[in-house]
Structure 1
Amino acid sequence: MKNNLLSLLIFICCAVATQLLSQRVSAQTATAAATGMTVEQLKAVKAIKIANLDKDTYFKSAGFILDRYEERPAYVFNYTDGITRKIYLYKIFTAADTKELGLLAIYKNEKSGEIKPFVIPGASADRKAWDAYIDDLKYVGEKEPGLMSTLTFVLSREMAGLLSGGGAKTEEGGAKKKEEYNFCFAPDAPVTMADGSSKSISNVNEGDVVLGYNAQTKTLTPTHITRVDKHQSVGAQGNFEMAGIWLAPINELTADNRNALTAPTLLEATANHPILTATGRKPFGDIKAGEVVYHYDAMTNGVTIYKVVRTEKTIRSVKAVYNLVTESGAYLVGETVVLDK
């Protein structure tokens, strides 16, 4: 009887904390739309598989953007049963217009490897979405010992932080700037066209054919631009900072005769734009010296490997930035393979 009452109390606390947190977050989002998450969207987000919960803090999948909530690391709980439990929180946005929909809370049992996702709708979500979330709390959450107590603690703790004025980088109303969820290049970033010529990204238009990259076959292939995004800053405080990496051919770096080395090539982008490395997709700002990327080889009309010889977090600031969306999901900037956001 006592256990049943305790479970009921935890369930109620979790539901109340969730509702209050979602209302508070939605109230802080300046760009919130009148309608929120649907039950279909909730199911789609639940189905997203995250390869590495500790490293994958920001990514796009199935038409959504998942961004680690306030850049928090996982909440870690070590109970007396010897099992480590973790809770990860992500904000959920639509990829098309970065409309905020709610939160994704992921529970992980480190011993069994069991992972349970809970999609927490925003306050303006459809009633059916809220019903689906409450069902998950009841019929999924209560079956895993320790899940409800950890989830309740995390949501209550975040709610307390919001009420006390805590939070990460904010603009008016407390919401993150929409530009923080975009990935972009400076206006003069050179895009390699399908014929091998180069064009500034600010002059590339929807429907243009550029040189894309097929990650499965590891070959270059023409691809159409399906969308061009442009973001313009307002005032000095809104400028976009460009990070930089310098690249050099690996065959030159390993040559005995170093007198004829060409100068390293500079590539610039916002820190969160993804680039293809030998170890997979990485945000531009996370690239380290010594890592390998893929570069266009005009002689073979294919790609060759270049090594990063230097990095810098801020090269310059620009007032406008551009992003391309392609059919292939990858294209060339500065003759280096970069990925769609």
Structure 2
Amino acid sequence: MKHNLLSLLIFFCCAITTQLLSQRVWAQTASASMTLDQLKAIKAIKIANLDKDTYFKSGGFILDRYEERPAYVFTYSDGITRKIYLYKVFTAEDTKDLGLLAIYKNEKSGEVKPFVIPGASADRKAWDAYIDDLKYVGEKEPGLMSTLSFVLSREMANLLAGGAGKADEGGDKKKEEYNFCFAADASVTLADGSTKAISNIQTGDVVLGYNAQSKALVPTQVTGVDTHTGTFELAGVWLAPVNELTADNRNALSAPTRIEATANHPVMTATGRKALGDVQAGDVLYRYDAASQGVSAYKVVRTEKAIRSVKAVYNLVTESGAYLVDETVVLDK
């Protein structure tokens, strides 16, 4: 009897906190009404690596780790580690806020349970589906309801205390923050070494990709092309070959080459993945070397946060997760 009452209390706590959290979060953002079909599609999304995949697109949706939080980790007296991961969910087409995706993982059994939490303006059927998941899925897994309830309550408390996360002055997360892209005239290197403007690349094209483990260039197929229109600021980074910078004859230095993109687009550096806007002078990036058919190290000699604005931007999704723009290794989102 006590167990049933406790389970019921946790269920109501989770449901009420979710409703309050959704009203608080989505009142601050440009939102769309989640439908039941959208909820089902989001719930079916498979995340390959919950600890590393913090931002990606799938099936017409953008998933972005909520406030860049790491997983909430719980270890009960039974010795089982349980985790909760939170993602904000947006429509890929217009980056409208749909809701939250909470993912529960039991580290011992490997069980993963997704819970799609609709926004406050969502269709009633979407809310009914979420409540059903709490009741018929959540209560079957020991520890799930208490961990989920704690996480949502904690986030609600943070919002009530004034935590607004990464929002602009009006409380809206800027659309540009979700668009990791290049200008239409950015040059993409194809598998045969020729180039084509990114705006002319199509799904199915084969371009030169990059294998981070082998540090080798490999042909890779384009599986998606993202296009966004609006006004976008591009950051610029100027690069010079490392071997030239260490040569004695400095009068023979060639002019630095430039790569530009939205500041948040990731590039491959000697220390790993880094947003272009976070790249600093002295960092090392990698560029295509036609002579060796591989890559050469280039050092950053200059950066600029905003060099020009464009009205349309493009991004590729590739099988290898990396491709070449202006002969520089860049990464998929």
| TM-score, normalization by structure 2 | 0.76
1:212 partnered with 2:207: yes
| SS of aligned partner of 2:70 | coil
Distance 1:309 1:131 in 2: 55
Structure 1 unaligned spans of 5+: 234-239
Instruction: Describe the shift of the 1:291–1:113 C-alpha distance in structure 2 as closer, same or farther (beyond 3 A).
Output: farther
1:179-328 to 2 correspondence within 5 Å? 179-185=176-182, 189-190=186-187, 196=194, 204=199, 212-213=207-208, 218-219=218-219, 228-232=227-231, 240=233, 242=235, 244=237, 246=239, 248=241, 265-275=257-267, 283-284=275-276, 293=286, 295=288, 297=290, 304-307=294-297, 309-310=299-300, 315-318=304-307, 320-321=309-310, 322-325=312-315
1:27 partnered with 2:27: yes
Distance 1:43 1:224 in 2: 23
| Identity score, percent | 62
Alpha-carbon deviation of 1:100? 1.1
Paired residue for 1:134? 131
| SS of aligned partner of 1:55 | coil
Paired residue for 1:80? 77
Letter in 2 for 1:113: G
Paired residue for 2:113? 116
Alpha-carbon deviation of 1:57? 1.5
| TM-score, normalization by structure 1 | 0.75
Instruction: Describe the shift of the 1:197–1:292 C-alpha distance in structure 2 as closer, same or farther (beyond 3 A).
Output: closer
Distance 1:100 1:10 in 2: 27
Work out whether residues 238 and 300 of structure 2, in 8 Å CA contact, stay in contact via their aligned partners in 1: yes
Distance 1:224 1:23 in 2: 36
Distance 2:135 2:327 in 1: 53
Alpha-carbon deviation of 1:292? 7.1
Distance 1:231 1:192 in 2: 26
